[in-house]
Structure 1
Amino acid sequence: MGALQIIEVEPVYGYGWLVSGKARREVPAIFRLSLEHAEPRLWIGTVLNEGHEFQGRRVTLTQRHLEWSGYVNIEVDADRPTSGSGRVDLTLPPNS
């Protein structure tokens, strides 16, 4: 991957969110992710937004559907399980 790529991730409800090991109905706020690694169907980066509940956390995105739909599974590197789903607003999946 060449230059640093920043993408916006919009968390969505989907099947709900698990934040710090607890089920939660409300979705986290939209966040910007600085990509550190990108390959087809897998992206890893760090949340940039100051004050965001995931600020500074590493996040792994995986393609949610077989065909690219813009929806991804989101896993946040945290002390307790934190995951949900979201949407990446791109015409094509972010590839390196």
Structure 2
Amino acid sequence: MPFHRPLKNSDSRSSMSSGVDAIVQAEKLLQIALMLPCAAVVGWLIGSWADKHFHQTWIAIAGIVFGAVSGLVYVIRMALTAERGTRNETSAQNGSSDGLDDSQK
């Protein structure tokens, strides 16, 4: 059986890689911060269009509420995903991982 050298340890990342990781993390946090107001504005615009189209006055308010709720749900899901990823990275760096990923548990 031929001998295969093991792959290099992925913990020894270069400073360039850690800089890119920091930018990616900042982009995720910026996306979380902008999602709620954008969802509310889109709901307001769609509701305002529906108000004019159906000659009503309450649909814009319902659009704002629907946009805010849907944006809040998405923000919570993104925050939980980001926190879970941070927790996994921290445990992997500390060596406290049991070697199994989430699909194997």
Structure 1 or 2: more helix by fraction: 2
Structure 1 or 2: more strand by fraction: 1
Q: TM-score range with shorter-chain normalisation?
A: under 0.3
Q: Which structure: larger Rg?
A: 2
Using structure 1 for the length normalisation, give the TM-score: 0.23
Using structure 2 for the length normalisation, give the TM-score: 0.21
Higher RCO (CA-CA < 8 Å; seq separation 6+): 1
